[in-house]
Amino acid sequence: MTIGFIGLGIMGKPMAKNLLKAGHSIVCYDVNAANVADVVASGAVAGKSSADVASQVPVVITMLPNSPHVKSVVLGKDGVLEGASEGLILIDMSSIAPLASQEVEKACAEKGVRMLDAPVSGGEPKAIDGSLAIMVGGEKALFEEMKDILLVMGASAVHCGPIGAGNTTKLANQVIVALNIAAVAEAFTLVRKAGVDPHLVFDAIKGGLAGSTVMNAKAPMMMDSNFKPGFKIDLHIKDLANAMDTAHSVGSPLPLTASVREMMETLHADGFGGDDHSALARFYAKVSGTTIGE
Residues 61, 36 within the same domain: yes
Which of 120, 86, 91 shows the shortest CA–CA distance to 10?
Answer: 120
pLDDT value, residue 231: 87
The CA distances from residue 128 to 7, 10, 47, 113, 143, in Å, are 15, 9, 23, 29, 23
Which of 48, 51, 30 shows the shortest CA–CA distance to 39?
Answer: 30
pLDDT value, residue 90: 98
Which residue, 162, 193, 215, sits at the end of a domain? 162
Which of 7, 43, 13 shows the shortest CA–CA distance to 26?
Answer: 43
Which residue, 127, 162, 197, sits at the end of a domain? 162
pLDDT value, residue 51: 98
pLDDT value, residue 275: 97
CATH label of the domain that carries residue 191: 1.10.1040.10
Residues 151, 172 within the same domain: no
Q: How does residue 124 score in pLDDT terms, banded at 50, 70 and 90?
A: confident
- Assess if residue 222 is contained within a domain: yes
Using CA atoms, how far apart are residues 90 and 161, in angstroms rounded to an integer? Answer: 17
Is 170 one of the annotated active-site residues of the chain? yes
Residues 185, 114 within the same domain: no
Residues 61, 98 within the same domain: yes
Query: Residues 7, 63: contact at Cβ < 8 Å?
Result: yes
Section 279-286 average pLDDT: 98
- Assess if residue 75 is contained within a domain: yes
| Digit-coded pLDDT (tens) for 187-205 | 999 999 999 999 999 999 9
- Assess if residue 36 is contained within a domain: yes
pLDDT value, residue 258: 98
Section 100-125 average pLDDT: 95
- Is the confidence at residue 172, as pLDDT, over 80? yes
Residues 217, 152 within the same domain: no
Model confidence pTM above 0.75: yes
The catalytically annotated residue of 170, 218, 232, 238 is: 170
Section 114-137 average pLDDT: 95
Residues 270, 158 within the same domain: no
pLDDT value, residue 230: 82
pLDDT value, residue 125: 87
- Is the confidence at residue 294, as pLDDT, over 80? no
| Digit-coded pLDDT (tens) for 128-162 | 999 999 999 999 999 999 999 999 999 999 999 99
Q: Quick count: other Cβ atoms within 10 Å of Cβ 196? A: 13
- Assess if residue 146 is contained within a domain: yes
pLDDT value, residue 101: 97
Residues 157, 172 within the same domain: no
The residue type found at 126 is: K
| Digit-coded pLDDT (tens) for 212-254 | 999 999 999 999 999 998 889 999 999 999 999 999 999 999 9
Which residue, 162, 177, 212, sits at the end of a domain? 162
- At residue 187, what are phi and psi to the nearest 5 degrees? -65, -40
- Is the confidence at residue 122, as pLDDT, over 90? no
Q: Which range marks the domain in which residue 105 is found?
A: 2-162
- Assess if residue 293 is contained within a domain: no
Residues 28, 60 within the same domain: yes
- Assess if residue 113 is contained within a domain: yes
Residues 140, 178 within the same domain: no
Residues 109, 229 within the same domain: no
| Digit-coded pLDDT (tens) for 264-276 | 999 999 999 999 9
CATH label of the domain that carries residue 15: 3.40.50.720
- Assess if residue 294 is contained within a domain: no
| Digit-coded pLDDT (tens) for 3-26 | 999 999 989 999 999 999 999 999
Query: Residues 292, 192: contact at Cβ < 8 Å?
Result: yes
Residues 174, 252 within the same domain: yes
| Digit-coded pLDDT (tens) for 84-99 | 999 999 999 999 999 9
Number of domains in the chain: 2
- Assess if residue 68 is contained within a domain: yes
Section 165-191 average pLDDT: 97
Residues 116, 199 within the same domain: no
